[in-house]
Homo-oligomer: A and B are copies of this chain.
Amino acid sequence: MKAEIISIGSELTSGKNLDTNSQWLSIQLAAMGIPVGWHTTIADDFDANLQAFDIASQRAGLVIASGGLGPTQDDLTREVLAKLINQPLEFHQPSWDTIVEMFTKRNRACPDRNKVQAFFPKGAEPIPNESGTAPGIWMKAKQSYIAALPGVPREMKSMFEAWLKTRLIELGLAQGVLIQRKINTFGLGESAIEEKLFDITKRGNDPEVGITASDAVISLRILASADNEAAAFKKIAPAEAIIRERLGELVFGVEEEELQDVVHQMLQKAGKTIATAESITGGVLASKFTKVPGASARYLGGFVTYTNDVKKSALGVPAELLEQFGACSKEVTLAMAEGCRERTGADFALATTGVAGPGGLSPDLPEGKVFVALAWKGGAHSETNQWFGNRNEVQSRTAKMALNILRLHLLKEAKHG
């Protein structure tokens, strides 16, 4: 059994408002083990509404709609649902009493226009609304149960939680739980990661494993449905073990953890400090470090050295190096990292240079070419890469690359002491 979510309103199809109800309802249903197969959004148009409910009631076991229950002329859900089951609309006195009482409480006269909100398709059941005037509608049509809720997110959510959720459980529609585990990796592209996990990302597997990419971070989502949480986690564990075994140090964190969170924790554990010297990332790397609450315990500070003069004065990069190799080079990047470490007294320093674009500097320095260096007491390491993406993406991905170089170094230090 799958559910369908229908959102009603011309303000949604026109793009004027963003529909967030569908996502919220999908998350609630997933948590109850009810998978959602479709979201449908329709304008305030009678025929389009009728067709959408007709299609949904044939393919879905449960339809949850929001919108179209207000008192105005463009609110059509009541009439559409009556037509769908070929029943008349009937007046429901208790609902009308509640609506009138709602207005009285607020010292306002109840407009006659609101009376339409007390009409329901014959055979349907009102869903109480504690925080607004529009009651919802619960009924059965063809293959499916239908719940119509108001479009106002606050009312929709409280009615789902106070009434609809219980009804779905009573009917036995809730099928255990659906739990997601997210594993975050950095260092390889989406298709290269999939190649390593081809067997477990196959469609139809249980648990299902999906791959998503977000600005060079590739995440594996393990989705398990089971009768209860413990059983779901029992399904997740072996899949997670395989992913961790095959991907090794590419895995940096889980759920909403970002590279800077993990690096901060590792620095905390090692009792070490870090500073930054940025050219291409222009403050983006510093801002990632300082995004973490309590960053000041580990992050001492940084330099954004955009010009050669500032590279020399702030970091002590030798003029000869800049002349010989150019500002975007392995040599200068290493000198920046070393100068930054010396001048701040940090245990580690990261430096970045490169070409953010738009446009390249030379055939050897195309747009997206970057250098990252890490310096520590008695040593240094540098890497280069060629990104594809716009200026902001090149900056953000290079900052991630720098964080990842530090992470891998800290891992090695932790292992070998």
Contact = CB atoms under 8 A, between A and B. Distances in A.
Nearest to A45: B37
A72 B191 contact: yes
B13 A73 contact: no
A38 B45 CA distance: 11
Integer count of this chain's copies in the complex: 2
A55 interface: yes
Interface string A20-48: 10111111111000011111111111001
A233 to B, nearest CB: 18
A201 to B, nearest CB: 7
A305 interface: yes
A198 B29 CA distance: 39
A313 B313 CA distance: 12
A201 B107 CA distance: 27
Contacts of A27: 14-15
B73 A201 contact: yes
A79 B74 CA distance: 39
A374 to B, nearest CB: 18
A290 B40 CA distance: 40
Given A210-B11, A301-B305, A70 B190 contact: yes
A388 interface: yes
Contact of A223 (B14, B345, B358): B14
Contact of A391 (B15, B29, B284, B293): B293
A304 to B, nearest CB: 4
A371 to B, nearest CB: 15
A180 B16 contact: yes
Contacts of A102: 388
Nearest to A71: B191
Given A287-B395, A289-B283, A42 B37 contact: yes
15 contacts: A13-B35, A15-B23, A15-B28, A18-B18, A19-B22, A38-B43, A40-B40, A71-B194, A113-B191, A278-B283, A283-B289, A290-B356, A301-B307, A301-B310, A309-B344
Interface of A: 7, 10-20, 22-30, 35-45, 48, 51-52, 55, 59, 70-74, 102, 105-108, 111, 113-114, 131, 154, 178, 180, 189-192, 194-195, 201-203, 210-212, 221, 223, 275-276, 278, 281-291, 293, 295-296, 299-307, 309-310, 313-314, 343-345, 356-358, 368, 386-392, 395
- Please name the 7 residue pairs, one residue from A and one from B, whose CB atoms are nearest each other, closest first: A282-B290, A283-B286, A15-B26, A283-B287, A39-B41, A15-B27, A301-B310
